Amino acid sequence: MTRRYWNINLKEMVEAGVHFGHGIKKWNPKMAPYISAKRKGTHIINLARTARFLSEACDLVFDAASQGKSFLIVGTKKRTTDLVASAAIRARCHYVNKKWFSGMLTNWSITKTRLSQFRDLRAEEKMGKFQHLPKRDVAILKRKLSTLQRYLGGIKYMTRLPDIVIVLDQQKEYIALRECAILGIPTISLVDTNCDPDLANISIPANDDTMTSIRLILNKLVFAICEGRSLYIRNH
């Protein structure tokens, strides 16, 4: 994997609050190597380590994107819903931003069937087939379509398991990480001071509660994916 320069600077991370961890009583001892200090009862994340692992993650996604591989971004916190969707669309990635259903990846055959039903319903609605049905049936189908759009809309074009999964909140998306581990899918995860850095292939120590911090990390990764995709297009 070739190392590249991704314009990751400490000042920018400090301004985004990437360095603020959780209170010292709410921490995982495994995060000790990634903590540089304690301030007013709060752990401070070592941003030099953040920069290193973020750079490694950017190299990984760039190389994968340049080979035409697929990505899934997972972030189901309410406040990150729009951020996840816009970032994923910008980089042409699949995404889950509402709720992770247990077995979404490990029971891929079932997920694939649901996605097929979703695509069929969308096609029928667009072709005007709903107009020929009784109002009660139309209401039921529209309600079902709305639910499928809400929870599967970000993966509606996913026809196979993703090559790399990016997780924005390790604790909230623990099931997603476990499914990836079972299937051997490489993962990149933000890890705050209360997380376990051993659960992902690349763990980026960072504040996973503040929008500015999450946005900065995600934007760096998305930029690297976009650069890799551009290279892939030029070579094909």
CA distance 19 to 205: 8
From-to residues of CATH 1.10.287.610 in the chain: 108-153
| pLDDT value, residue 1 | 62
CA distance 65 to 51: 21
| pLDDT value, residue 2 | 63
CA distance 188 to 207: 15
CATH dotted code for 17-105+161-235: 3.40.50.10490
From-to residues of CATH 3.40.50.10490 in the chain: 17-105+161-235
CATH dotted code for 108-153: 1.10.287.610
Q: Which residues contact 198 (CB under 8 A, 6 or more apart)?
A: 30
**Mean pLDDT split into 10-residue runs, the chain, 236 residues:** 82 96 92 93 96 97 97 96 97 97 96 93 84 84 89 94 97 96 98 96 97 97 97 91
